[in-house]
Amino acid sequence: MIDSRSDKVFSVIVYIILSTFGILIILPFLNLLATSLSDQVAVSNGMVTFWPKRFTLSAYKFVIQNKQFWNGFKTTILVTFAGTVLSMLVTTLTAYPLSLPKLKGRKFFLVLFIIVMLFNGGLIPNYLLINQLGLRNNRWALILPGLISTYNMLLVKNYFETLPPSLYESAKIDGASEFRIFINITLPLSLPTLATVALFYAVGFWNSYFSGILYISSPEKMPLQTYLQSLLNMSYIPAHELSPEVAESLSTESIRAASIFSATVPILVFYPFLQKYFVKGLVLGSDK
């Protein structure tokens, strides 16, 4: 009886703490949304908290009509999709052989990957490499440098190692090749971990802005996050980008808030579809 009561008290405390953290995380989004839906006077006078004041959609009209925003959005969608697919391909093809004890030089290659995870060449060597490869001002420069994460690869490798060896032995007795085992057995059984790692990659590519600053000079090839970063650094929105009616009713803060919120929504919509795999995949892939 005492244990049952203490368990209930503990559960209540946990729920209160988690609910508090959840509210603290949601409040900035509510403030961002309220700012994007409020007019210039309300925002300038600090009247906006978590509910729009003097409601207006002018900020979102500006975002919809902003060619630079949509160019960045298309670039980010392309980079996120292509980068995630290619990263998952390279990661799984790397993790699978490293998960096989019979691979010659396995420990040596693992040590190399761990060294790369802990140390890197630095900003200048990376820039010189991209420049010498002729990828400056090319969207591939936004994909190739982050094509594989050693941490993600180790998560996948660790999960591959938990699969029963008897599955591989039975498949080999039936005449299956290593590639067929990889495609028909290993990958289907690893969907939770693969979905988790794919989410890691997708969020990483979506949120990346520094690569755009380093490697992209053309505005039409600039990723969305790089455009948002430049927008946040502006003290004001250039007059030629605003129509007269928008300039009169809208503040710079509202435009920034609407742009940031519009860029955040897609990843928030996509995340719930993979959420059910997230915890399960992360735990299963990190048990070694």
The parent domain of residue 87 ranges over 65-285
| Residue 92 in domain | yes
Confidence (pTM): 0.78
Nearest-Å Rg of the Cα atoms of the chain is 24
| Residue 141 in domain | yes
| Residue 45 in domain | no
DSSP letter (8 states) at residue 288: -
Selection from 65, 70, 54 nearest residue 251 by Cα: 54
CATH number at residue 204: 1.10.3720.10
Helix-helix angle 67-98:106-118, to 10 degrees: 150
Selection from 115, 59, 18, 112 nearest residue 247 by Cα: 59
Q: How many domains does the chain have?
A: 1
Amino acid letter for position 55: F
| Dist CA 212 CA 51 (whole Å) | 34
| Predicted local confidence at residue 87, as pLDDT | 94
| Residue 28 in domain | no
| Residue 229 in domain | yes
| Residue 81 in domain | yes
Q: Is 287 helix (H, G, I), strand (E, B) or coil?
A: coil
Selection from 228, 217, 232, 209 nearest residue 142 by Cα: 209
| Residue 46 in domain | no
| Dist CA 272 CA 113 (whole Å) | 32
With a cut of 70, which residues of the chain have pLDDT below it? 1-3, 234-251, 274-288
